[in-house]
Amino acid sequence: MDARMNLFDNPVSAKFLRHLAAAGQVSAGTTLPAATQELVRLRASQINGCGFCTDMHTKEATHAGESVTRLHLVAAWREATVFTDAERAALELAEQGTRIADAAGGVSDEAWANAAKHYDEDQLAALVALIAVINAFNRVNVLVRQPAGDYRVGQFG
């Protein structure tokens, strides 16, 4: 399977991706735990059906020391016992922030309040930015049908 277009060869899409990647660095420089960031990226990518980002963030998380068990259970985090309450709150926020069109009210007050119990304002801001950025990356890759499976850890890094 080939992508519909090479995002790096086109000057418009390449410039957009550079700006999007720069926006993605905002959360990297915060106290939001790196493991939480990868779990959130992975869950949003699963929901959006972005094979490329699912591949990428599974491999990056594994490389960073995340357990295979936890990665396998991200899609079923509600029933899994391997996530902290804080991670659960972040995953719920990620799901609701990704599925905005599925709920007339968007992100619920309950999901926000639960996340606010576990994360300070800077960490919440990082979560909001992270969720927005991964959803943008997911949409770009789904639109062009970016193939999955060949990502190498640190490939863009």
* Nearest alpha-carbon partner for 128 in 143, 112, 144: 112
- Over residues 76-124, the pLDDT tens digits come to 999 999 999 999 999 999 999 999 988 777 899 999 999 999 999 999 9
Q: Domain ranges in the chain? A: 33-143
What is the C-alpha to C-alpha distance for residues 37 and 29, in angstroms, rounded to an integer? 11
Q: CATH fold of 33-143, please? A: AhpD-like (1.20.1290)
- Over residues 119-147, the pLDDT tens digits come to 999 999 999 999 999 999 999 999 999 99
Task: Please count the other Cβ atoms lying within 10 Å of the Cβ belonging to residue 91.
Answer: 22
Q: Is 49 left (phi over 0), alpha (psi -120 to 50) or beta?
A: left
| Amino acid code (one letter) for 11 | P
| pTM of the predicted structure, to 2 decimals | 0.95
